Amino acid sequence: MIQKLADWIVFSLFEIDATSHLGKALNFFLYDTTKILILLFFISIIMGIINAYFPIERLRNYLISKKMYGLDYLLASIFGAITPFCSCSSIPLFIGFVKGGIPLGVTFAYLITSPLVNEVAVAMFIGSFGLKITAIYVASGILLGVVGGFILGKMNLRPLLSDWVKQIQIDQNAETQQFEAENTSFLERLPSIVNDAWKIVKGVIIYVIIGIAIGAVMHGYVPEGFFQEYLAANKWYAVPAAVILAVPMYANAAAIVPVIDVFVAKGIPLGTAIAFMMAVVGLSLPEATLLKKVMTLKLIGIFFGVITLFIIISGIFFNIIL
């Protein structure tokens, strides 16, 4: 339906040739932008609702009190997936977990999945790749968190936390003295949630436009199969190269998915593209800077290194199954 509108605007209203590069690029741009902004808005609302009712204090206490034989990694990872990744929350949350005596590995599981799976990435993925691929992305983001967190947990990394964090005593009674001033009904809360969703959309709209613009230009002007020569799946170095290239890059998920979409359309294998995206979105310089407060450089290095390795493995795996 949106496609028809985009078609009409570009080809009928402005009478641009449908086979021209400009025509294709413009059409793609209009279609994708509209579709994605609508999707993003609705998914943000859904995430906002889930989030508003998610009892983090209860989760933390649950994680502390029960012996879960690995299930706690899964819960932390799922929690990372559904909560929005406000990077400034990652430190208080990290500390909160440490104070609660939650194993480091479980905290890592959260830290790994949180930036990877967020409402923006999900919306963009559904828009560009459909439900099935999105589900695979979300599942692998969570799996990455669980496995990565587990392995990191086994590595006895506590000595590598920053001095500042080590001083923070485990204080199991450190529950937030939260004043339950809010017994607002769902309907009363909905306006705030919708408002917040709208703010999220407003916040990323410029990146979406930039990303889609880049994607649109590539879509219209880069020949089909262009990337096939250099980054085909059968070249063993393709996935590691793409991932390592992507780690120091940081782009908003909003901007990068349209670019990934075009990569795939122009010949990059889907697995490589997904791995690239995970590396761009999940590991970044800004995140490393934030983590410096709680981790020594060595630990950040190990953290990034392990995740990079697993992203590479995932990329190769996806290339096989997709």
Partner 1 sequence: MEIKILGSGCAKCKSLYEITKQAVEALGIEANLVKEEDMMKIISYNVMRTPAIVIDEKVVSQGKEHTVESAKKLIQSLL
Q: Using CB under 8 A, list all residues that contact partner 1.
A: 48, 51-52, 56-57, 60, 83, 86-89, 91-93, 95-97, 99, 168, 174-179, 181-182, 184, 188-189, 191-193, 195-196, 199, 203, 293
Question: What six digits make up the tokens of 233?
Answer: 């799946």
Question: Residue 196: exposed, middle, or buried by beta-carbon count in 10 A (0-12, 13-18, 19+)?
Answer: middle
Closest C-alpha to 242, from 211, 270, 203 = 270
Rounded least distance, CB 174 to partner 1, Å: 5
Rounded least distance, CB 158 to partner 1, Å: 18
Contacts (Cβ under 8 Å, ≥6 apart) of 162:
292, 293, 294, 295, 296
Distance CA 153, CA 158 (A): 9
Q: 295 forms bridges with which residues in the sheet? A: 161
Distance CA 259, CA 212 (A): 7
Rounded least distance, CB 78 to partner 1, Å: 16
Rounded least distance, CB 91 to partner 1, Å: 6
Q: Which of residues 212 and 294 has its CB atom nearest to partner 1 in the complex?
A: 294
User: Whole-angstrom distance between the N-terminal and C-terminal Cα of the chain?
Assistant: 28
Q: Which of residues 44 and 128 has its CB atom nearest to partner 1 in the complex?
A: 44
Q: Which of residues 34 and 83 has its CB atom nearest to partner 1 in the complex?
A: 83
The interaxial angle of helices 119-154 and 21-52, nearest 10 deg, is: 60
Do residues 145 and 76 make contact, with C-beta atoms less than 8 angstroms apart? yes
DSSP output for 196-222: HHHHHHHHHHHHHHHHHHHHHHHHHHS
Rounded least distance, CB 169 to partner 1, Å: 12
Rounded least distance, CB 269 to partner 1, Å: 35
Q: Which of residues 75 and 270 has its CB atom nearest to partner 1 in the complex?
A: 75
Q: Which of residues 6 and 294 has its CB atom nearest to partner 1 in the complex?
A: 294
Cα dihedral angle (87, 91, 92, 97), rounded to 10 degrees?
120
Rounded least distance, CB 56 to partner 1, Å: 6
Rounded least distance, CB 95 to partner 1, Å: 5
Q: Which of residues 86 and 297 has its CB atom nearest to partner 1 in the complex?
A: 86
Q: 161 forms bridges with which residues in the sheet? A: 295
Q: Which of residues 51 and 296 has its CB atom nearest to partner 1 in the complex?
A: 51
Question: What six digits make up the tokens of 271?
Answer: 């697995």
Closest C-alpha to 74, from 23, 143, 5, 156 = 143
Do residues 263 and 134 make contact, with C-beta atoms less than 8 angstroms apart? no
Q: Which of residues 255 and 273 has its CB atom nearest to partner 1 in the complex?
A: 255
